[in-house]
Structure 1
Amino acid sequence: MAATAARRRTVGETIRVVLVDDQEMVRDGLGALLSSAPDIELVGEAGDGLHAVELAARLRPDVVVMDIRMPGMDGLTATGRIIRDEPDGTTPGILILTTFDLDEYVYEALALGASGFLLKDAPARDLIDAVRVVARGEALLAPSVTRRLIADFARRRRSGSLRPEAAAALTQRELDVLQEVSRGLSNAEIAERLVLSEQTVKTHVGRILAKLGLRDRTQAVVFAYENGLTPPPGGDG
């Protein structure tokens, strides 16, 4: 699992986005939508993965909105290249555009370090919210379909035995927070559930990521499922 760090942005700074999709009409529509947001700047567009990798290296955006199924280099390969090739160890957040049936692609994108997923049939304005979430260094985990995909991904990758020692560096409270994160809860929801302040939850999440060498909440969720810290939905753990 990639352990690179997301780029840090200053509060109020414009979010620089590269949009990747092989359909020009889709790019035009999504590009117009992104450009309508006052805090988002569309700095580049690509119609295939190779061009996306080149733009990411040259423009160093905050977020790459990445389609998966494209001719030539697909979005999966491009995601791996973008994350691997960053010279200073920081990467843009990668928001995957997907449909419900992109099983193996989605699982591999998670392993490579993608920060979130947006279904192509989601309401158009959701794209702006998703870009903002990923730009903050957070993971887009709210949709229940994403949680199911992550759980299924972890089931497929798990060796078959639980490894509780993998989280030995965590305190009990940090473990509690990690389990709630893995269920897709926001900091505010976790704070209410565990009777903590939202700032305390945020601090715990930061410490969890640092101790486990993880990039963001998405990787924390995958870690929890892979290591048996959270039973997959509908499974027996």
Structure 2
Amino acid sequence: MIRVLVADDHPAFRRGLELMLADVEDLEVVGLAETGAEAVELASALAPDVLLMDLRMPDLDGIEATRRLTRSGAGAGVAVVVLTMFEDDDSVFAAMRAGARGYLLKGADQEEIVRAIGAAAAGEAIFGREIAARIIEHFARGAGSSAAVFPSLTGREREVLEMVARGKGNATIAHELMISLKTVRNHVSNIFVKLQVPDRAAAIVKAREEGLGGG
């Protein structure tokens, strides 16, 4: 029996996944989480085999939640499969670096999701067709993606840094990303630490040197 934990901040989507998987033989949904922090907590407490993880969630985004689980003893043995709307290179490669074993888009059908769960539980890595095509294209063209820039940053932190590099203030960033001003400030502080810069101006310079923010 494969034990599955679902983490997504949309109640209807969580419920839909739970119902979709309820009748699948040898699968059991053991818990539902609505924030990244709750996903980490429940994964540590329930020890599921697979965690279906959304990327954009309150408190803690899916990338950072995945990183915390894969780097902590409490999360050992939990295979994270990202299930999200985002198919950009930054999100895909950030999830892979964080330790995700799979990456699917929310348009995936039941068969694809069940197959990914089984593969992840068996220790394999699996990607949806669209994502696999992007990965192949990335390596085929032999070019570095922006996800390779500042690898210590989470997907959300890189997104914030991109906006900072474009000259946007914290209030504007909070409005456009639909997150709180406090959350933006926390992301900016984390970015300063990870980039080893003293202030916003230095972060902008460093980001633009790497091609972020339009150069």
Same-fold status (TM-score > 0.5): yes
Deviation (angstroms), 1:145: 2.7
SS for the counterpart of 1:155 is coil
Alignment CA distance shift 1:150-1:75 (3 Å): farther
Deviation (angstroms), 1:102: 3.8
Hey, what's the Cα distance between the residues in 1 that align with 2:130 and 2:47? 31
- The total of aligned residue pairs comes to 144
SS for the counterpart of 2:144 is helix
Find the partner of 1:131 among 117, 125, 128: 117
Find the partner of 1:111 among 97, 102, 111: 97
2:68 counterpart of 1:81: yes
Hey, what's the Cα distance between the residues in 1 that align with 2:127 and 2:33? 26
Hey, what's the Cα distance between the residues in 2 that align with 1:150 and 1:75? 23
Q: What TM-score comes out, normalization by structure 1 length?
A: 0.56
Q: Name the amino acid aligned to 2:10.
A: Q
Contact 1:20–1:46, Cα closer than 8 Å, also in 2: yes
Q: Which residue of 1 aligns with 2:26?
A: 39
Find the partner of 1:155 among 144, 150, 154: 144
Hey, what's the Cα distance between the residues in 1 that align with 2:67 and 2:86? 21
Alignment CA distance shift 1:145-1:35 (3 Å): same
2:132 counterpart of 1:146: yes
Deviation (angstroms), 1:150: 6.3
Alignment CA distance shift 1:151-1:102 (3 Å): same
Alignment CA distance shift 1:93-1:72 (3 Å): same
Q: Which residue of 2 aligns with 1:59?
A: 46
Deviation (angstroms), 1:103: 3.1
Cα RMSD for the two superposed structures: 2.2
Hey, what's the Cα distance between the residues in 1 that align with 2:2 and 2:136? 27
Q: Unaligned stretches of 5+ in structure 2?
A: 150-215
Overall identity of the aligned pairs, in %: 40
Alignment CA distance shift 1:120-1:143 (3 Å): same
2:6 counterpart of 1:16: no
Hey, what's the Cα distance between the residues in 2 that align with 1:47 and 1:151? 33
Q: Name the amino acid aligned to 1:143.
A: R
Q: Which runs of structure 1 show a deviation greater than 6 angstroms over 4 or more consecutive aligned residues?
A: none
Hey, what's the Cα distance between the residues in 1 that align with 2:111 and 2:128? 15
Contact 1:107–1:150, Cα closer than 8 Å, also in 2: no
Q: Which has the higher helix share?
A: 2
Hey, what's the Cα distance between the residues in 1 that align with 2:34 and 2:120? 21
2:73 counterpart of 1:69: no
Relative contact order, CA 8 A, sep 6+: which one is greater?
Answer: 1
Deviation (angstroms), 1:39: 0.3
Alignment CA distance shift 1:18-1:149 (3 Å): same
Hey, what's the Cα distance between the residues in 1 that align with 2:28 and 2:18? 10
Hey, what's the Cα distance between the residues in 1 that align with 2:11 and 2:86? 22
Alignment CA distance shift 1:155-1:19 (3 Å): same
Q: What TM-score comes out, normalization by structure 2 length?
A: 0.61
Hey, what's the Cα distance between the residues in 1 that align with 2:86 and 2:132? 9
Deviation (angstroms), 1:125: 3.1
SS for the counterpart of 2:93 is helix
Deviation (angstroms), 1:155: 2.4
Alignment CA distance shift 1:106-1:150 (3 Å): farther
